[in-house]
Chain A
């Protein structure tokens, strides 16, 4: 199960944070303060990593037993997946690749600002890839198709309203 997906920029600002579940006994998500703390400590670990090392970090102290962390940098952003032993580490790297490819297709040449201004669309994309911590879809074509469909629906139902409500009507830049 995937426990969290984080996108953090080079300055340590979270650009996307989605926590699935942490404690099995507690039904709750992490409270926001705890989430921020985790993001900060993940960032602390990441920015002290030297170059040319593996993308895996043993993250037990941060996320509890049986948790692994895989990260990758794309441009100035750290993409981080945290997951448990029921996921294949190498496959997680591929999933991350699929996520970034999809972002790239949806925003045509994605950059950090796209994620900042369109965070709800980013969430929509992520929700088509991972649901409740499980992998939902890995083909970026399928994902793009689903996201486009959502955008189309929003546009259609918003045609008559003055307040822009859909992710599709926000300029991408």
Chain B
């Protein structure tokens, strides 16, 4: 027979499909079959309708569209014979996908069949209804189903019970109609009916408060009695699974009891005894027994408090954990996770077993156990737990290491009792699985290290040792490189030895070796390379004897294809070569970062740098002209910036200069304010995201239009790198320029060496105003005394008022204490503070100052920043 004719038997079609070697062949066969079936449908073929629908179901299972067969289902359902109806209902359940109108048409047939004299046809209809019932159908057919709950045949009763569940889920309002019938099902002896009846009652309780109250009152006792009977029932081979009588009924009953007992102390009291009996008497050597125990535990955990039972339940879970069956361990861990909120103390007792599960062969069990351990950690057990976990880290699977590492780090951070322990554990993790440690974790470690000033030496030595064995772990290398850069001299001189340490001998060149190894070994990682460069720059100052060698290493990166590295390399070697005088300032140690600020930032509660710098600056004592910490956070934040800025405390200063300079450069061509090309060079040299060093003369180039040639050439000469130091020492060279520029700038009054200067408004925001008054000490032209006066025009009082200022290197600033820290509202008073500025470049450069004002308005921190460029000339 031609397999593609419409007369194919189902078997032949299946064979033809199975014989297909490719998906395309299969599609072709299906296409032909579908075409034939469609033709048969349009001819309204009756003889083969049954067979065609069977074929369609097979085609549907293979994943082809079969919507065109839906109406055929209805026709078959409407037919008289049992086989037709059976296939029709089966098709209805499987093929139906877009519904409402088809469902409406089928409701009538269902109604008829639910009243059919043949109970098997009634069974088919119930089954279909239970699977596809919609809300409208539920309303239409609920009376039929309700009646069938009392049908003589138990098979129909149980189907009707499950069908009712679907109905009340679709239309919860119908729940009360089913209450009495459902309650009478609970008195059944037939176990199938009982299972479904209990399930129906459970679901009734879920959808209706009223039902819950009803069953709680009427059935709690009888359900307890029923469970007792089931538990003590004699052996029933028919329902027995692995020697346990009817585990499903057990489970359904336990579940029903849970719903009844939850939130009701009286009901819970009634079931205590039987729960204890189930928990102690059930055989636990088979899956079925464990399923019952598991259900029993969940019920005990959910009903009202009975601590004795809970301990019993958690002990069952503890026993599960040492079961050989993976499934049992898996569910036990899941349940313990829930139990920990109910009775953490009881769960703690099984800590050792849970910890064993972290080492399980089964990945999903390991994962759960680890999560559970994480929840179990507290201040008292953190040390032994972490010790165990780190030991396990050494032997664990590669796939698991990432997760394990993350959890260990998080535990260590959260619960560390002391810094040295934290540092020790983190170093262990870094040496074992450094490649899995996330960037923010080791960034946090660096913050902690920098804060623990008494441990700097210890840490850098530990890192040095760890590096010897684990130089392949990238983040370990990064932390080590950072610490050696910062605390290199402590490594070499064994500074700050702790009692527990063995002394080591490290020479200066050993320390440089480490960096050199790191730079070679991790050549693919930009961050490591950049950190190494900075560490080298720092070491070149700390170890003058190695300076030459360091420069050679740095120079090697001149040819790097990565612009950042290349640029850094050129800049750093130029610093080492030519700018000895500023080098030590540039490579000062990083100032300590506020831990709370950093962790706050990590937690993501604070966006970027603005508010963070606010908090950071508040930690600085008022009136100290010390670089503020704000930009440093950015500098350290390697994740946001691939290359850390090449300086320690100098960075902030440079940042200030950068700010000064950019604005100056913009205004220079117009107003020709005093030249700052010298600092400009310095800036470019160390540029933080500004054009490469080669373009250091660009400021001058920008200026050229509109300026006459002489001035340009002068500027250019001065701004060339080599003249930087010359400029500082030879006023002769600078003098003509000043003269030149004087000609351009007429806007500001030029005061000679006279003793009076105009007051200025140094800063003005919405509500805050700062006035500066100037005076000079006769005989000391470099020094200026500034009287700052702050006033507040807003209606709110400013409290905790702090004024800070920073100046470029050629200035020295001293702030006297302010007259107060509360600024009255509406200009009703002011704070004064005096500043003394010494200008080392007096006559050549004007004063410039960055300021920051922090205060609280109604307890809310506010921060304002500004820059003062409008100082009178010649200060």
**A-to-B contact residues, CB < 8 Å:** 14-18, 20, 27-33, 35-36, 39, 50, 52-58, 86, 88-91, 93-95, 97-98, 116-117, 119-120, 123-124, 127, 131-132, 134-139, 141-142, 146, 149-150, 153-154, 157-158, 163-166, 170
User: How distant is B369 from chain A, measured CB to nearest CB, in Å?
Assistant: 12
Complex alpha-carbon distance, A165 and B9, angstroms: 11
| Contact across chains for A117 and B135 when beta carbons are under 8 A apart | no
B54 touches A120 (CB 8 A): yes
CA distance A117 to B16 in the complex (A): 12
Closest to B169 in A: A24
Report B363-403 CB contacts with A as 1/0, cut-off 8 Å.
11100000000000000000000000000000000000000
Residue interface mask B7-37, A partner, CB < 8 A = 1: 0011100100010000000000000000000
B813: Cβ under 8 A from any A Cβ: no
Chain A nearest CB, measured from B25 CB (Å): 15
Contacts of B94 in A (CB 8 A): 18, 123
**In the assembled complex, how far is the CB of residue A120 from the closest CB belonging to chain B, in whole angstroms?**
6
Nearest Cβ in chain B — how far from A173, in angstroms?
10
Verify B83–A132 contact, CB threshold 8 A: no
Contact B330 A54 (CB under 8 A): yes
B362 within 8 Å of A by Cβ? yes
Contacts A33-B63, A57-B364, A91-B247 known; list 7 others, CB within 8 Å: A20-B131, A88-B255, A90-B291, A91-B291, A98-B241, A132-B162, A163-B48
Give which listed residue, B99, B163, B295, contacts A131 with CB less than 8 A.
Answer: B163
Would you call A94 and B248 a contact (CB within 8 A)? yes
* Complex-state Cα separation, A149 to B124, whole angstroms: 13
Q: B326 and A53: CB pair below 8 A?
A: yes
Contact of A166 among B83, B191, B288 (CB under 8 A): B83
Bound CA span A39–B770, Å: 72
With A90-B328, A139-B191 as contacts: A53 and B90 at CB distance below 8 Å: no
| Max chain B C-beta neighbours (<10 A), residue from A124, A146, A165 | A165
A20, A39, A58, A89: the one within 8 Å of B327 (CB): A89
A86–B146 Cα distance when bound, in Å, is 24
Q: Which residues of A contact B84 (CB under 8 A)?
A: 165
- B51 interface residue per 8 A CB criterion: yes
Instruction: Provide the bound-state CA to CA distance between A28 and B135, in Å.
Output: 12
Decide yes or no whether B618 CB sits under 8 A from chain A: no
Min CB distance B133 to A, Å, is 8
Which chain A residues border B255 with CB–CB below 8 Å? 86, 88
Complex CA gap A115/B357 in Å reads 39
The one of B57, B86, B132, B364 that contacts A53, using a Cβ cutoff of 8 Å? B364
Q: How many B residues are at the interface, by size bracket?
A: 35 or more
Q: List the B residue with the shortest CB-CB distance to A149.
A: B120
Cβ < 8 Å to A, chain B residues 713-742: none
Interface contact A139-B238, CB-CB below 8 Å: yes
In the complex, identify which listed stretch (B192-200, B638-646, B785-793) lies at the interface while the others stay far away: B192-200
CB neighbours of B82 from chain A (8 A): 153-154, 157
Whether the Cβ atoms of B195 and A56 lie closer than 8 Å is no
- 30 contacts across the A-B interface (CB closer than 8 A): A14-B61, A15-B61, A20-B131, A27-B135, A28-B98, A31-B97, A31-B98, A32-B65, A32-B97, A39-B63, A54-B327, A54-B365, A56-B331, A88-B291, A88-B294, A94-B248, A94-B291, A116-B18, A117-B11, A124-B86, A131-B159, A135-B196, A135-B248, A136-B192, A136-B196, A138-B192, A138-B248, A154-B82, A157-B83, A163-B51
Question: Is there a chain A Cβ closer than 8 Å to B538's Cβ?
Answer: no
Q: How far is B135's CA from A127's CA once the two chains are assembled, in angstroms?
A: 22
B57 pairs with A131, CB closer than 8 A:
no
Question: Does B165 sit within 8 A of A, measured CB to CB?
Answer: yes
Which residues of chain A have C-beta atoms less than 8 A from B361's C-beta? Answer: 52-53
Choose among B14, B62, B291 the residue that contacts A14 (Cβ–Cβ < 8 A). Answer: B62
Contact A165 B196 (CB under 8 A): no
Contact A91–B63 (Cβ < 8 Å): no
Instruction: Let me know if B50 and A165 touch, CB within 8 A.
Output: yes
A-contacting residues, B156-206, CB 8 Å: 158-159, 162-163, 165-166, 170, 191-192, 195-196, 199
Contact of A154 among B64, B83, B159, B166 (CB under 8 A): B83
Report Cα–Cα, A124/B241, bound state, in Å: 23
Flag if A153 contacts B61 (CB, 8 Å).
no
A119 with B58: in contact, given A138-B239, A163-B47 (CB under 8 Å)? yes
Complex CA distance for A16 and B82, rounded to whole angstroms: 23
| Chain B, range 310-366, C-beta contacts under 8 Å to A | 326-331, 361-365
Q: Are A35 and B162 in contact (CB under 8 A)?
A: no
Query: Which of B87, B155, B165 is in CB contact (< 8 Å) with A146?
Result: B155
Whether A91 contacts B248 by the Cβ 8 Å rule is: yes
Chain B residues with Cβ below 8 Å from A90 are 287-288, 290-291, 294, 327-328, 331
Q: In the complex the two chains form, is A136's CB within 8 Å of B326's CB?
A: no
B127 at the interface (CB under 8 A from A): yes
Q: Judge whether A123 and B192 touch: CB under 8 Å.
A: no
On whether A88 and B295 interact (CB within 8 A), knowing A53-B363, A94-B287, A120-B90, the answer reads yes
Contacts of B247 in A (CB 8 A): 91, 94
Are B86 and A150 in contact, with the CB atoms below 8 A? yes
User: CB-CB < 8 A to A15: which residues of B?
Assistant: 61
Question: Which residues from chain A contact B127 at a C-beta distance below 8 Å?
Answer: 127, 131
Residue-wise, chain B 228-254 has the 8 Å CB interface mask toward A (1 for contact) of 000000000011010000111001000
Counting CB contacts under 8 A, is B130 at the interface? yes
Query: Which residue from chain A places its CB closest to the CB of B365 in the assembled complex?
Result: A54
Min CB gap A29→B, angstroms? 6
Cα distance A28–B51 in the bound complex, in angstroms: 26
Q: Which residue of A lies closest to B170 (CB)?
A: A27
**B55-88 interface (Cβ within 8 A of A):** 57-58, 60-66, 81-84, 86-87
* B51 contacts across to A, CB distance below 8 A: 163, 165
Q: Is B431 in contact with chain A by the CB < 8 A criterion?
A: no
Alpha-carbon separation in the docked complex, A135 to B329 (Å): 25
Shortest distance from the beta carbon of A13 to any chain B beta carbon, whole Å? 8
Minimal beta-carbon separation of B499 from chain A (angstroms): 48
Minimal beta-carbon separation of B136 from chain A (angstroms):
10
B831 contacts partner chain A, Cβ-Cβ < 8 Å: no
Q: Is residue B405 contacting chain A, with contact meaning CB distance below 8 A? A: no
Question: Which residue of chain A lies nearest to B250 when distances are taken between CB atoms in the complex?
Answer: A91
Residues of A within 8 A of B668 (CB): none
Residues of chain A within 8 A of B288, CB atoms compared: 90-91, 94
A36, B132: Cα distance in complex, Å: 20
Q: Which residues of A contact B241 (CB under 8 A)?
A: 94, 97-98, 138
Q: How far is the CA of A97 from the CA of B84 in the complex (A)?
A: 31
Q: How far is the CA of A166 from the CA of B48 in the complex (A)?
A: 13
Instruction: Verify B295–A91 contact, CB threshold 8 A.
Output: yes
Task: Tell me the minimal C-beta distance from B11 to chain A in angstroms.
Answer: 6
* 9 nearest A-B pairs in the assembled complex, by CB-CB distance: A132-B130, A90-B291, A54-B326, A36-B63, A54-B330, A53-B362, A165-B83, A131-B162, A91-B291
Contact B199 A135, beta carbon cutoff 8 Å:
yes
Pairwise interchain contact B66-A137, C-beta atoms closer than 8 A: no
The residue in A31, A52, A53 that gathers the most chain B C-beta atoms within 10 A of its C-beta is A53
Chain B contacts with A in 266-288, Cβ cutoff 8 A: 287-288
Task: Give the chain A neighbours of B630 by CB distance below 8 A.
Answer: none
Kindly state the separation between the CA atoms of A146 and B124 in the bound complex, as whole angstroms: 12
